[in-house]
Structure 1
């Protein structure tokens, strides 16, 4: 169940292939150039699964607060439900990415969609049967179950693009996913509102059906969706190999030393087994290494750090500006319809930008494109400080959503290229968690600034933050995007 807030598309994105040596290029052709013979069909199915999921989530997400308020619950309860569900997804994302990277990607995606369909279906049944007043505990449980399942699905889906697409086709695949999200942002809230007027249960019926469609599309995909690995080396070892001189876990090294040098010259076969405590410690160490492998990879890879900083900053800024617009329009006496107009204009502009991004990527320098988008966002944010009506807000937010897909397509596609297949889900979860955390905290900061300093201050503060981001991107993008993806980032 998603939010109707405009997004940057931080979970997707590409550019020209990086500079490669002959060996690296051969390795990439072996692992990426021919993912499988069903790639074209699977890409379309993945687009359909993503679009259906986004449409249902937007339709139900926009009416959930209205439902809770209509049932007599306070705004504090509404905020609690939204906050808990968001926090659940942020916390679980990096953890549930481990089984997806370890070969269970398709199973995780399918069963997550099924569980989400059952959770939303239970809400629809309760609204239709229990006199339209299901208990709060039921609603909260259903939202948490759905949010948990969605976190599992999103974590597994992040590694799918690299497995079904060739490097040269990444811009088109990522832009197609972005277009599905933007289209859902335009149609979902309006459709959810109309269905809600007819019956409170209908938006949740639509959400449940959308998850069924997602599950069917995932099941129909013929790709194995498991990362090919030439050895059994853990992705965690690759992620932090630079931190270990010989690439061996210290606990494993101690165990090997003990086995290699038994005390008093005793026969190694007669050596007693190591204490159980050491095995447990080694197990927990391995689990921790698995769970944090994505974080260590992002920390050690300049390209992924650039993507992290850019997407996190832009997500936070956009969320802060959106809520600043909500506060300003409310104080000026506008109702909910103007914000619907702002969202519709933003979604339409974002859809246009996503559809145009693949063609623009082929004709523009990736460095110039990312830097240009970063600087163009600065005057848009500053202009929001003087905006007063919904049409002005809609035009300015539309400007954001029109230009951002170009940069996000470039950055995310390069991130996909620069991440080993067996670490795609975990690295993607780290990026998504950081961006989602910034978007979750930004409304509170925007509210504080508005209450204590005035409605124009959040927009000016965001413009200042974007200036810093543009300066960082100007130097960082030039250095990172022109030198190509590091060989270790490819898992070579």
Structure 2
């Protein structure tokens, strides 16, 4: 579907481009710092004499906190406190990691202090991520959102390469340094957010966005698109946003929707009512589960083949570099082929790659196949995330993103358990075969005519 050009004045477009760069730097700094500490935290706990079950318990508890908190934090972000939430979250995370780094420089901190710092950072990062969702839609017009999402995804992939390497290097020098570097990354992120000049308050039903094009009936189209009676995704948007419009504004919606839990569920209602958003949640959750399972498949396969940490590090570095290339290639692929072709094609291509991973044992062969998975996967992922921005009203961006984050995080938490069970009960290649079967079902779903129609309508 052809999108109208931005009607924002040049000064506003210039400020938006500057703020997009600031958002990129905040995202990149946060990703590198988090990956640096995430890579060395298990080593730190083991070095301090804690058993592996403690390592797993801390990881599980922190993941659960993120799952429970994300939908609730998204409510004040969507209601106008987006920038304040991002700043407060960055400050809390910087204090938590800085305090842990200081404690480590002074000696061996108790496990209670480590757990408190890790949970405080998880609360902060969850809050920041929830508030940051939808910022792209507020900073740049629709035609530019795909490239911005691509660059943010590239920053995430780059952090997977730089972060663990930096964390390992700093840990060799001093066990406190990775956590001090993480604290510094949050300070950088806070300064970038503080320097943004754009209004990050999402326009609601009573506060229209002056830069958004308007359809003939006078309503602001969700995501900046001109409303169209024949667009399936747009019809879903209208139905889901009806909760807010019928209630007469956010205040009355809160009273009729059951308070904070009711507001938090608005994102879930929108996902259920919008075919494209349902596809985004299903696709991203399934593929995230597959990628994490294949990672643990790599750990099991390489360990059983007698390969050490260097081989695993090389596989992860290659996969991160491939993912970076795939994320950068997504906008060009979308312009040439369209999302309705790319998403099914990528999903079908992932099927034989996953099955082949069940048949190899060598580090080079596994690294090559896993890198190919990470190369093609972001091409579809970036397109779907961009489509989700266009299918979501600005006032629901954070809550809708929280639904996606909750399902994908839950899949990531479940993946190691499934990989371990399949390996123990069957064989080393069983997780990869299970991933191939799941991808085949997903690929068949993406080729259905209604799904391709939703992709062509909004994700194109």
Aligned to 1:4: none
In structure 2, C-alpha distance between the alignment counterparts of 1:239 and 1:41, rounded to whole Å:
35
Aligned to 2:213: none
In structure 2, C-alpha distance between the alignment counterparts of 1:142 and 1:299, rounded to whole Å:
36
Deviation track 1:329-362 (CA, whole Å, cap 9, x = no partner) reads 2222222222111110001111111222222222
Deviation track 1:399-435 (CA, whole Å, cap 9, x = no partner) reads 0111112101111101001100000000001011101
Which residues of 2 match residues 11-50 of structure 1 at below 5 A?
Answer: 18=1, 36-50=13-27
In structure 1, C-alpha distance between the alignment counterparts of 2:375 and 2:314, rounded to whole Å:
16
Offset of residue 455 of structure 1: 0.8
CA gap 1:110/1:315 in 2 versus in 1, 3 angstroms? same
- Give the unaligned 5+ runs of structure 1: 1-17, 254-280, 486-492
Which residues of 2 match residues 186-225 of structure 1 at below 5 A?
Answer: 186-225=161-200
* Secondary structure class of the residue paired with 1:38: helix
Aligned to 2:28: 51
CA contact (8 A) 1:36 1:223 kept: no
Offset of residue 242 of structure 1: 6.2
Please say if 1:76 is aligned against 2:53. Answer: yes
CA gap 1:332/1:92 in 2 versus in 1, 3 angstroms? same
In structure 2, C-alpha distance between the alignment counterparts of 1:351 and 1:232, rounded to whole Å:
38
Which residue of 15, 31, 38 maps to 1:61?
38
Deviation track 1:259-313 (CA, whole Å, cap 9, x = no partner) reads xxxxxxxxxxxxxxxxxxxxxx947713332110000000110010010110000
Aligned to 1:182: 157
In structure 2, C-alpha distance between the alignment counterparts of 1:318 and 1:461, rounded to whole Å:
12
Which residue of 337, 342, 347 maps to 1:374?
347
Offset of residue 30 of structure 1: 6.4
Offset of residue 239 of structure 1: 6.4
In structure 2, C-alpha distance between the alignment counterparts of 1:354 and 1:207, rounded to whole Å:
25
Rg larger in 1 or in 2? 1
TM-score of the two chains, using structure 2 as the length reference: 0.88
Offset of residue 482 of structure 1: 2.2
Which residues of 2 match residues 444-483 of structure 1 at below 5 A?
Answer: 444-475=417-448, 476-483=450-457
Which residues of 2 match residues 131-280 of structure 1 at below 5 A?
Answer: 131=107, 133-231=108-206, 240=240, 247-248=246-247
The total of aligned residue pairs comes to 430
TM-score of the two chains, using structure 1 as the length reference: 0.82
CA gap 1:83/1:31 in 2 versus in 1, 3 angstroms? farther
Bigger relative contact order, structure 1 or 2 (CA pairs below 8 A, ≥6 apart) = 1
In structure 1, C-alpha distance between the alignment counterparts of 2:21 and 2:152, rounded to whole Å:
10
Aligned to 2:409: 436
In structure 2, C-alpha distance between the alignment counterparts of 1:92 and 1:333, rounded to whole Å:
41
Please say if 1:417 is aligned against 2:390. Answer: yes
**71-80 or 395-404: bigger deviation:** 395-404
User: RMSD over aligned Cα, in angstroms?
Assistant: 2.6
